[in-house]
Amino acid sequence: MSLDAIALGGGFDLEFYRKFVRNSFDTPNAIQPLRRLTHAPLVYVRTVDDTGQPIDAVTLRTTIDAVWSIGSMWTGGAFGIADVPRGTEDHAGEAGWLTIRWTNLSADNHCGLADIGQDGGVIQLSRETIGCGCNGSKMRPRTVRHELGHAFGFWHTGDVNDLMVGASSQCDQFPSGRELYHAAIAYRRPAGNADPDIDPAGAVNLAPGRIVE
Amino acid sequence: MDTEMTGVAHVNVSRSTCTAGVSKRPDSMTAGRPRLPPPPETHDVDIRWRIRRECCVDPCSLGRAAAFTILSMRLWTLCAASAFSVACSGGSPTAPARVTPTSPAQSSTVTITGHLTATNGAQPLGGIIASLGPTTTSTTDDAGRFALTVTPFAAIRVTLQGTSIVPRSAPRCGRDLARCESRRHRARRRV
């Protein structure tokens, strides 16, 4: 049999891995098992918001481009984005899909909100929240990639150098080198892998998790 | 993932030929014989169908039969009287006579050899303790190789520990956990 283990040193940082993969930054006393996607998702971008109002062309284009631009970064090359169809439908809860909705989250001052590593999950983006747009778009590419990071299974790191920092005013940003490095390790483990590196015995059913930026 | 399984001392059959599963045989073993029909629907007929399969048994089946001695003795009694044995022409079941009946307890070890590499870099990891519990351990050599003795088809959990890795625990079973579990399930039904 072939087995693999995470070698210490050489770029691996267990403390960072626990923040990034197990949510020890936001909930240090309740670290999570690995949640991740298992196949390339179809990312459905709704062209209308939750009230039925159409999304302007620049914001829609910026969002779709940002989705494509992440490619297979969040999976260490395991798989990328299958396609980015758009329309007025909603594929929440459907296997193989991620759905981007446009929801007003300004009351909570959030730019985005996402299910964590959930097949059929939802990303909600808020055009109405002040500071969430840039360069003529009402949604920053950075926010789209950040929420995709959540959708692929990753949590906040608390470091401004990381895309998954949690709160940032940057317009455009990609995952940091260490995020890419540790994401690749996470995608070499089955969903449900627990701290420090314990694979589950069989199928794993985790309660859905949701996080805001 | 590659798995190397060696051993089963009491059966004079190489386990390496037994990896196709209970219902499959290498083509070379079925060549020239009439093909067996698919399993019938009813329970009674299904038993006869299974008996005939055992009459046409190949060395792999014998290995399994030895592991389940009581069942195989019963089957051989039935095989002798079974009209279905006609279908076994050209496949004389001589090998079973050479198998010494053994208790299941005597038939239950295989050695699994393994190879440990780094998830982040793929380099072999030496000096790591691979274990299946407090008594079954093996330390990887510089090439990352180790060997563990386990019960055939048993689901196992390998634990890896060492100062140079994040401690790891992973279920493994022979070649493939799902196939292993399936075999275990069938084995329980047969016994």
Nearest residue of chain A to residue B2 (CA atoms): A1
Note whether A9 contacts B169, CB cutoff 8 Å. Answer: no
- Position B63 scores a pLDDT of 41
Task: pLDDT band for B179, please (50, 70, 90 cuts).
Answer: low
Note whether B171 contacts A2, CB cutoff 8 Å. Answer: no
Note whether B114 contacts A3, CB cutoff 8 Å. Answer: yes
Distance from CA of B75 to the nearest CA of A (A): 34
Highest mean pLDDT among A199-213, B23-37, B85-99, B102-116: B102-116
Task: pLDDT band for B67, please (50, 70, 90 cuts).
Answer: very low
Which three-class secondary structure string do you get for B24-88? Answer: CCCHHHHCCCCCCCCCCCCHHHHHHHHHHHHHCCCHHHHHHHHHCHHHHHHHHHHHHHCHHHHHH
Give the other-Cβ count within 10 Å of A84's Cβ.
Answer: 18
Give the residue numbers in A contacting B (CB under 8 Å), as ranges.
Answer: 1-12, 14, 181, 184-185, 188-189, 196-202
Q: Is the dihedral of CA A17, A18, A23, A27 positive or negative?
A: negative
Note whether A1 contacts B112, CB cutoff 8 Å. Answer: yes
Res. B177: pLDDT tops 60: no
- Decide if A39 is inside a domain: yes
Taking the model in full, what pTM does it have? Answer: 0.70
Decide yes or no: CATH 2.30.30 for domain B109-190: no
Compute φ and ψ for B182, nearest 5 degrees.
-65, -40
- Decide if A185 is inside a domain: yes
Note whether B166 contacts A188, CB cutoff 8 Å. Answer: no
The arithmetic mean of pLDDT across residues B13-19, rounded, is 31
What does the alpha-carbon distance between residue A110 and residue A167 come to, in Å, rounded to a whole number?
Answer: 9
The arithmetic mean of pLDDT across residues B15-19, rounded, is 32
What does each of the 213 residues of chain A score in pLDDT, given as a tens digit? 889 999 998 899 999 999 999 999 999 999 999 999 999 999 999 999 999 999 999 999 999 999 999 999 999 999 999 999 999 999 999 999 999 999 999 999 999 999 999 999 999 999 999 999 999 999 999 999 999 999 999 999 999 999 999 889 999 999 999 999 999 999 999 999 999 999 998 634 455 566 766
Indicate which CATH number applies to the domain containing A89: 3.40.390.10
- Decide if A40 is inside a domain: yes
What does the alpha-carbon distance between residue A119 and residue B142 come to, in Å, rounded to a whole number?
Answer: 40
- Position B153 scores a pLDDT of 62
Q: Which domain holds residue A105?
A: 14-199
Q: Which residue has the higher pLDDT, A62 or B37?
A: A62
- A202 neighbourhood in chain B, CB within 8 Å: 171
Task: pLDDT band for B186, please (50, 70, 90 cuts).
Answer: low
- Decide if A5 is inside a domain: no
- CB-nearest to B119 from A1, A4, A202 is A4
Res. B32: pLDDT tops 80: no
- B113 neighbourhood in chain A, CB within 8 Å: 1
Q: Which residue has the higher pLDDT, B98 or A66?
A: A66
- Position A10 scores a pLDDT of 86
What does the alpha-carbon distance between residue A208 and residue A121 come to, in Å, rounded to a whole number?
Answer: 9
- Decide if A2 is inside a domain: no
Least confident of A54-58, A165-169, B48-52, B117-121: B48-52
Indicate the SS3 state at residue A1: coil
- Position B129 scores a pLDDT of 97
Between the alpha carbon of residue B31 and those of residues A8, A205, B35, B84, the distances in Å are 53, 46, 9, 18
Question: Count of domains in chain A?
Answer: 1
**Is residue B17 classed exposed, middle or buried when 0-12, 13-18 and 19+ CB atoms within 10 A define those classes?**
middle
- Decide if A210 is inside a domain: no
Domain residues of chain B, as ranges?
10-104, 109-190
